[in-house]
């Protein structure tokens, strides 16, 4: 068996679209997804799961109906299930999301920013 690490920088070079998570690994039922953010996403929530946002490069904000949170490179935040939120980034932000397989990126909102699910790099 060949043991090969997953290199985030190399994986990020393989795509340029925003708001479209790409799966790079799976641990049991949880997927590790890389995604590039720029601009504003949609207000949404995930009733069935928490969502982990890990900033690898850049900075972003997560808006909540009663406040907001700023995340910088090397920081993470877990949005609890059922909490409505809206991610945004003024400049490109490279992120890792950790969530169960099959989760739709726009949660309950749907719309034009809904990404194709289970896209692997």
SS3 54: strand
pLDDT over threshold 90, residue 108: no
Give the model's confidence band at 20: pLDDT under 50 very low, under 70 low, under 90 confident, else very high: very high
Give the model's confidence band at 86: pLDDT under 50 very low, under 70 low, under 90 confident, else very high: very high
Give the model's confidence band at 77: pLDDT under 50 very low, under 70 low, under 90 confident, else very high: very high
| Distance separating alpha carbons of residues 55 and 33, to the nearest angstrom | 12
**Residue percentage of the chain with pLDDT more than 90:** 86
SS3 content of the chain, % helix, strand, coil (to 5): 5, 50, 45
Exposed e or buried b per residue across 83-106, where buried means at least 16 C-beta atoms within 10 angstroms of its C-beta: bbbbbebeeebbbbbbbeeebebb
| Distance separating alpha carbons of residues 65 and 12, to the nearest angstrom | 31
- At 82, give phi and psi (nearest 5°): 80, -5
What pLDDT is stored for residue 15 in this prediction?
Answer: 97
Domain 21-100 -> CATH class: mainly beta
| Distance separating alpha carbons of residues 12 and 40, to the nearest angstrom | 20
* pLDDT digit string, tens, across residues 21-69: 999 999 999 999 999 999 999 999 999 999 999 999 999 999 999 999 9
DSSP-derived secondary structure letter, 80: P
Measured from the Cβ of residue 37, the count of other Cβ atoms closer than 10 Å reads 23
């Amino acid at each position: 068996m060949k043991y090969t690490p997953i290199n985030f920088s190399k994986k990020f070079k393989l795509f340029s679209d925003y708001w479209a998570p790409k799966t790079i690994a799976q641990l049991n039922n949880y997927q590790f997804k890389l995604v590039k953010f720029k601009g504003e996403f949609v207000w949404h929530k995930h009733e069935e799961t928490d969502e982990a946002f890990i900033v690898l490069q850049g900075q972003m904000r997560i808006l909540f109906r009663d406040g907001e949170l700023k995340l910088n490179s090397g920081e993470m935040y877990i949005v609890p299930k059922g909490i409505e939120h809206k991610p945004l980034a003024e400049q490109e932000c490279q992120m890792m999301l950790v969530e169960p397989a099959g989760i739709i990126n726009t949660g309950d909102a749907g719309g034009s920013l809904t990404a194709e699910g289970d896209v692997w790099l």
